[in-house]
Structure 1
Amino acid sequence: MTEIIVDNLLSPVVLFFVLGLVAAIFKSDLKFPSALSEALSIYLLIAIGIKGGIELSHYSIDTVLAPIGGALILGVAIPLITLFIMRIIKVDLENSIGLAATYGSISIVTYGAALSFLEKNGTMYEGFMNAIVVLMESPAILVSLLILNIVKNKSEVTSLSSRSVGFMPESFNLIDKEVLRESIFGKSIVLLVGSLLIGVILGERAVPMVKPLFMDLYNSVLILFLLNMGLVAGQRLPEVKKYGVKLVLFGLLSPLLFGSLGVIVGSFVGLSIGGITLMGVLAGSASYIAAPAALKTSVPEANPSIYLGLALGVTFPFNLIIGIPIYFELAKWIQ
């Protein structure tokens, strides 16, 4: 176990992330142009989606049905567990919803780093796991916003019911249409789903064209992206400190809790060691692309410094350095 963690720490993707982290902490003038950062994000989303689609074209629906079911269960369960924990530590409703959506959704970059980890260790995994990434991106966001609207509407109805029997406010709406659009048709979902479908339709015919850019260069581009993520995470660290030890502990311990749950689900639905590891990584990661985009529109009261600060400043580096090897060892043990 120690040897695996050390090997992971000494991998290029982790070391370049640490380089960015150190540069931000010591206030270096190193920074990425916003256009380049956006381009790297788009590249990773397309690369993971199209590789998943090509692999998915090799499988029948019967093969992927159980893993899809497991992924959807995790997408519903994790935000509910997060809300329960936030209630215990007395975080307000809006910030609780922000954390539930963020931790219930997934980090595409953590997943990409896990793929590199498995390939380095020579561990095979099911190709359709790239499709599972797409399925786990939105459910937690929708569940969290649904709960928020139910609670708010219930409070509104309760306050008005004593004055008007049978009254139902015009604003009663479980999920706003704009929120639904952001959650399903946001950039990350469109790119992942679209490239996945293209990969499924074309199958192996797409390989000669996409391999030079989206397969051969994948790990090198991931290094650049993680250098940038290190800079962003380092800038967010002071914001996390403002909100006390309880939330920082949540950012450190929740990946182990949710990642272990993902490992159990992955084993239950019959995945290989590599597939179980990836299910654990997805469950234990936190979103800083899709969830914040939806939260910015639908829950403006939620403080981005909390959900983004924890996701990027605490959970992301924890998973990158320690979490991935732990999920891998848990997968081997449970098998």
Structure 2
Amino acid sequence: MDFLSGFFTGFLGQLQSPTLGFLIGGMIVAACNSQLQIPDAVYKFIVFMLLIKVGLSGGIAIRNANLAEMLLPAAFAVAVGLIIVFIGRYTLAKLPNVKVVDAIATAGLFGAVSGSTLAAALTLLEEQGIEYEAWAAALYPFMDIPALVGAIVLASIYTRKQRESFKEEFPSKQPVAAGDYAGEDNYPTTRQEYLNMQHGGASKKVEIWPIVKESLQGSALSALLLGLALGLLTRPESVYESFFNPLFRGLLSILMLVMGMEATARLGELRKVAQWYAVYAFIAPLLHGFIAFGFGMIAHALTGFSLGGVVILSVIAASSSDISGPPTLRAGIPSANPSAYIGASTAVGTPVAIAIGIPLYIGLAQAFMGG
């Protein structure tokens, strides 16, 4: 009973935080059809500032840390990213009216990491006085890249098999080249034909390095890795303490407002696809976070990984990429419907991860501390 009481007390306390308040406020403002707008350039600048601050703090910590301490949490981050993709492949993809490539792309986006969700979690941990390894933020790419690569590879394997089936079933049909439009007269009548039309007739080898390179070159990971490099190789403590750190919470509040407005706006996109995406987008972030929490507790028991670090691992697992993931998946899985995976992520997944997931995992950590 003490454990449950401590958990629910901590959970309810997180819901009253200003960070989550701005998110909910943004959702309400958008639902009321307000004309309030935050320029896209301002949004991108805020994301850059937040991620470079997280990177700087992580780089400074890594410079003074024992790298051996990072090995197990980093390995678990890789494992969780891949597990999330396989969960989506063999759950969401099996549901009615859900195309397999759409399900794999959705799983890849949910396996990848949201820098803004990570920033929100770090702020709440600091507000609650929960200690964590500063290098824990550096677990971001260890989960993000394997999830995106894994999703694109799985989609490529699936579509290749479908093309082979198509050739056997419809040997006389000529595939439409990728990028061409199929009119009503030659609209595909089978899933195999549809996939063949999307990808063309030739089978191509999956190239892993371009996927990794594109992920690393994405704006979110670039900012985070730049901050890590500067924190590790230079001495940025003075500018960090005088400029980046004081602005962090204020900028995060504006970002949460924007994300709340975006979540409400994306609900229309989500209605265009099967209702199963909404179910998946609500359940998956919490399930993914619990899986990561379990791995984190193993690291906690074996290496002394802090409970705050366990929360961070859980949060990045619960998050879904809002910056680097969508363009990577558009390029890597062109036949997938962006309304499905982006709508599911921004309309449901991200609000669930921030408003429910972060307080949930912090509440669990506080309950374990009390125990």
Q: Which of 5, 11, 36 is 1:30 aligned to?
A: 36
Q: Which of 43, 52, 64 is 2:49 aligned to?
A: 43
Deviation (angstroms), 1:236: 0.6
Inter-partner Cα distance in structure 1 for 2:23 and 2:350: 10
* Aligned residue identity for 1:279: L
**Contact map agreement 2:115 2:220 (CA 8 A) in 1:** no
1:198 aligns with 2:204: no
User: Which residue number in structure 2 is paired with residue 266 of structure 1?
Assistant: 296
Deviation (angstroms), 1:334: 6.0
User: Which residue number in structure 1 is paired with residue 330 of structure 2?
Assistant: 296
Inter-partner Cα distance in structure 2 for 1:173 and 1:110: 35
Inter-partner Cα distance in structure 2 for 1:26 and 1:301: 35
Inter-partner Cα distance in structure 2 for 1:333 and 1:139: 31
Inter-partner Cα distance in structure 2 for 1:246 and 1:26: 26
User: Which residue number in structure 1 is paired with residue 94 of structure 2?
Assistant: 88
Larger radius of gyration: 2
Q: Structure 1 unaligned segments of length 5 or more: list them.
A: 164-168
Inter-partner Cα distance in structure 2 for 1:63 and 1:160: 51
Inter-partner Cα distance in structure 1 for 2:165 and 2:349: 38
User: Which residue number in structure 1 is paired with residue 176 of structure 2?
Assistant: none
User: Which residue number in structure 1 is paired with residue 188 of structure 2?
Assistant: none
Deviation (angstroms), 1:70: 0.8
Q: Which of 321, 340, 358 is 1:287 aligned to?
A: 321
User: Which residue number in structure 2 is paired with residue 326 of structure 1?
Assistant: 360
User: Which residue number in structure 1 is paired with residue 260 of structure 2?
Assistant: 230
User: Which residue number in structure 1 is paired with residue 83 of structure 2?
Assistant: 77
Deviation (angstroms), 1:239: 2.2
302-311 or 113-122, larger mean C-alpha shift:
302-311
Q: Structure 2 unaligned segments of length 5 or more: list them.
A: 1-6, 172-200
User: Which residue number in structure 2 is paired with residue 166 of structure 1?
Assistant: none
Deviation (angstroms), 1:184: 2.8
- Measured against aligned partners, the alpha-carbon deviations of 1:110-149 in whole angstroms (never above 9, x if no partner) come to 1111111111111101111111013222110000001111
- Measured against aligned partners, the alpha-carbon deviations of 1:262-301 in whole angstroms (never above 9, x if no partner) come to 0011111222111111111111111111110112222233
SS at the partner of 1:287? Answer: coil
User: Which residue number in structure 2 is paired with residue 137 of structure 1?
Assistant: 144
* Aligned residue identity for 1:85: T
TM value normalised by structure 1: 0.91
Deviation (angstroms), 1:220: 0.8
**Contact map agreement 2:93 2:104 (CA 8 A) in 1:** no
Inter-partner Cα distance in structure 1 for 2:208 and 2:122: 36
**Contact map agreement 1:232 1:312 (CA 8 A) in 2:** yes
240-249 or 16-25, larger mean C-alpha shift:
240-249
**Contact map agreement 1:53 1:130 (CA 8 A) in 2:** no
For residues 93-132 of structure 1, what are the structure 2 equivalents within 5 Å? Answer: 93-132=100-139
User: Which residue number in structure 2 is paired with residue 175 of structure 1?
Assistant: 207
Inter-partner Cα distance in structure 1 for 2:212 and 2:57: 27
**Contact map agreement 2:10 2:362 (CA 8 A) in 1:** no
Name the count of aligned residue pairs: 328
Deviation (angstroms), 1:174: 1.2
For residues 241-280 of structure 1, what are the structure 2 equivalents within 5 Å? Answer: 241-270=271-300, 271-280=305-314
